[in-house]
Amino acid sequence: DFETAVKVLVVGNGGVGKSSLIRKFCKGQFTDQYKKTIGVDFLEKQQFVKSIGENVTMMVWDTAGEVQSFRMDLKSSIGQEEFDAGLTSEGAGAAVLAFSTTDRDSFDTIEKWKGKVEAECGNIAMCLIQNKVDLIDRSVMTTDEAEELAARLKLKFFRTSVKQGFNVNEVFDFLAETYIKN
Ligand code: GDP
Ligand code: MG
C-alpha cells in the first residue's frame, strides 16, 4: 500500500504570509514575529483526501519571496545535481500563489509568480490566495480587482487570514484534491 506525497510550493512577495501559512497548516501555530525566510525549507503534513479516502503527504516548500531568484531558491533547496537533472519541475505537484491585502505590489506581481511557477513546473495544480483578510479595512485592492485577477488567470481563489486560522485548511484541501484528480 503506497503512500502518496505531493510537493507544494508557496510563492509570492516577501511579507505576504507564506512562512506563516506553512507553519499554521503543518504545525497549527501562528506568531506575529516577522522572521525573513532565507533560502528554502519545507514542512510536511498528512492531508485526508475525501475523493480517494486516503491521506496524502503534503510536503510544503517555503521560498524567500524574490521573483528574480526563484530559480536559485529551488536550486539551493534540492542541490545542484538534482536541479541539473530537472527534478525541480518534476517534483512539484501543486503551488500556492499568495498576495497580501495590505501590499499592492504583492498583488501586482502575482502574474509574474504564476509565470515563474509554470516555467519551472508546468501546468500543476495552483490556487490564488489573498492573505491577511483580517486587515480588510486597510485593503489596497478592491474585491472586484482580486476576483478579476483570479478569473483572468483561471485560478481558484481563496481569501485567508493565517492569523485567524481562516480558510487555511481549505487551500490545501483544494490542492490535494486537484492534484489527485490530475
Ligand atoms: P513571508 O515573508 O511571506 O514568509 O511572510 P511571513 O509569514 O513571515 O509573515 C509576514 C508578517 O505578516 C508576519 O509578521 C506575520 O505574523 C504576518 N502575518 C501573516 N499572516 C497574517 C495574517 O493573516 N494577518 C495578519 N494580520 N498578519 C499576518
Ligand atoms: Mg517567509
pLDDT of residue 87: 43
Whether 132 lines ligand 1, by a CB cut-off of 6 Å, is yes
Find out whether the beta carbon of 14 lies less than 6 Å from any atom of ligand 1: yes
pLDDT for the residue 180: 93
Q: Rounded to whole angstroms, how far apart are CA atoms 64 and 51?
A: 33
pLDDT computed for residue 89 by the predictor: 44
Q: Could you state, in chain order, the average pLDDT of each consecutive group of 10 residues for the chain (182 residues)?
A: 83 94 93 70 89 93 72 62 50 93 97 93 95 98 98 98 98 96 88
> Measuring from atom 10 of ligand 1, which residue has the nearest CA?
15
Name the burial class of residue 34, with classes exposed (0-12), middle (13-18) and buried (19+) by CB atoms within 10 angstroms of its CB: exposed
**Ligand 1 atom closest to Cα of 14?**
2
Q: Which three cell numbers stand for residue 30?
A: 501562528
Q: What is the pLDDT of residue 91?
A: 72
Report in angstroms the alpha-carbon separations of 108 from 49, 54, 97, 99, 127: 33, 37, 12, 9, 16
Task: Please state, in angstroms and rounded to a whole number, the distance separating the CA atoms of residues 52 and 179.
Answer: 12
pTM: 0.89
Contact 132, 161 (CB under 8 A): yes
Model pLDDT, residue 59: 92
